[in-house]
């Protein structure tokens, strides 16, 4: 019996020591958020002990570390990116989301920030749900996800969302469309996507779309492999695709002929020159540079 008591005491001491060590690693971001509310809410503790065990049991530190060694396929299912892509993205944005270590703060690592941001984008789980896996306070997580998303926009957008401006580049897009979809002379596929939001206060019905929920609209032109060539984001949900298209910069550029679109040439098996064009659905008006389905 004495040995069992001794072992139990030893395990309790280990657990206590782990909590103490974790407290030395806890980031000040949790504490700062709590300090802001201290005058309004009487707290029983500065931060919860189970959050402090993040370096030992956190989803990034434990599960993801195991998956990137043992099971790359499940790692990709978890974050929707493979291991190599995860670290490539991290290398590109790390400098923008890293905070300095101080005597009072050991900040959350950039890799952990990127991990729970990608998990949020992949699942849209609530912050209060994600905190249980990653062991980061939900109010801290909410601000950091915004920071990481902004860094992704600033760094990645110019690299991967690039509108062609040379005839040779457009011809490569058209060739891929013909090879993959048997649709010649196509420079891109155009459509809008409603992104569900919680509407801003006092905004009335301006964000309410025809599908019955509040949204902003992503209008995009993509190539044959679904890669973005051009995007416009933020129009209110009550706007139709046609309305948004009529006032966007891409339409204006196409009409003014400043995008380097190739000159008209022959379609396969034809003897008449045909212009190059983008394709869309019935929401858009037909033009020489925009093809839509023919009405029956």
Residue-wise pLDDT for 11-22, tens only, equals 344 444 444 444
Pairing of strands 228-236, 215-222: antiparallel
Strand partners, 208: 214
- Looking at residue 271, its pLDDT comes to 84
- Looking at residue 4, its pLDDT comes to 40
Identify which of 145, 159, 236 has the alpha carbon closest to the alpha carbon of residue 199.
Answer: 236
Residues 6+ positions from 262 with CB-CB distance below 8 Å: 167, 170, 171, 174, 276
Identify which of 268, 171, 269, 282 has the alpha carbon closest to the alpha carbon of residue 224.
Answer: 171
Q: For 225-287, what is the HEC assignment?
A: CCCEEEEEEEEECCCCHHHHHHCCHHHHHHHHCCCCCCCCEECCCCCCEECCEEECCCCCCCE
- Looking at residue 160, its pLDDT comes to 80
Structure tokens at 75: 């790692």
Structure tokens at 24: 């030395």
Using 50 as the pLDDT threshold, list the residues of the chain that sit under it: 1-28, 41, 43, 45
Backbone angles phi, psi at 266, to 5 degrees: -75, 140
Identify which of 129, 152, 153 has the alpha carbon closest to the alpha carbon of residue 141.
Answer: 129
Exposure b/e, 254-293, CB count within 10 A at least 16 = b: beeeebebbeeeeeeeeeeeeebbbbbeeebeeeebbbbe
- Looking at residue 19, its pLDDT comes to 43
- Looking at residue 26, its pLDDT comes to 44
Question: Nearest 5 degrees, angle CA 96-CA 97-CA 100?
Answer: 100
- Looking at residue 34, its pLDDT comes to 59
- Looking at residue 1, its pLDDT comes to 46
Contact 187, 209 (CB under 8 A): no
Q: How far is CA 41 from CA 44, 45, 67, 79, 143, in A?
A: 10, 11, 40, 36, 21
Helix (H), strand (E) at residue 224: none
- Looking at residue 95, its pLDDT comes to 92
């Amino acid at each position: 019996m004495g040995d069992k008591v001794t072992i139990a005491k030893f395990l309790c001491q280990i657990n206590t020591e782990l909590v103490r060590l974790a407290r030395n690693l806890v980031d000040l971001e949790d504490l700062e958020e709590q300090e802001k509310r201290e005058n309004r809410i009487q707290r029983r503790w500065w931060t919860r002990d189970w959050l402090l065990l993040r370096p030992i049991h956190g989803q990034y530190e434990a599960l993801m570390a195991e998956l990137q060694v043992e099971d790359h396929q499940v790692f990709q299912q978890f974050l929707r990116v493979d291991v190599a892509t995860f670290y490539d993205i991290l290398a590109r944005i790390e400098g923008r989301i890293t905070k300095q270590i101080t005597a009072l703060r050991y900040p959350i690592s950039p890799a952990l920030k990127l991990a729970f941001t990608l998990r949020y984008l992949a699942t849209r789980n609530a912050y209060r749900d994600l905190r249980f896996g990653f062991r980061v306070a939900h109010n801290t997580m909410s601000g950091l996800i915004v920071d990481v998303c902004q860094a992704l926009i600033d760094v990645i957008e110019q690299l991967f969302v690039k509108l062609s401006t040379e005839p040779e580049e457009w011809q490569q897009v058209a060739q891929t469309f013909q090879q993959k979809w048997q649709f010649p002379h196509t420079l891109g596929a155009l459509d809008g996507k409603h992104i569900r939001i919680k509407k801003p206060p006092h905004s009335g019905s301006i964000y309410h779309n025809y599908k019955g929920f509040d949204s902003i609209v992503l209008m995009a032109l993509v190539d044959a492999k679904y890669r973005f060539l051009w995007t416009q984001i933020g129009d209110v949900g009550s706007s139709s695709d046609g309305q948004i298209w009529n006032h966007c910069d891409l339409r204006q550029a196409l009409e003014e002929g400043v995008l380097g679109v190739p000159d008209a040439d022959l379609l396969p098996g034809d003897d008449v020159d045909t212009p190059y064009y983008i394709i869309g659905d019935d929401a858009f008006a037909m033009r020489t540079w925009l093809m839509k389905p023919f009405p029956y």
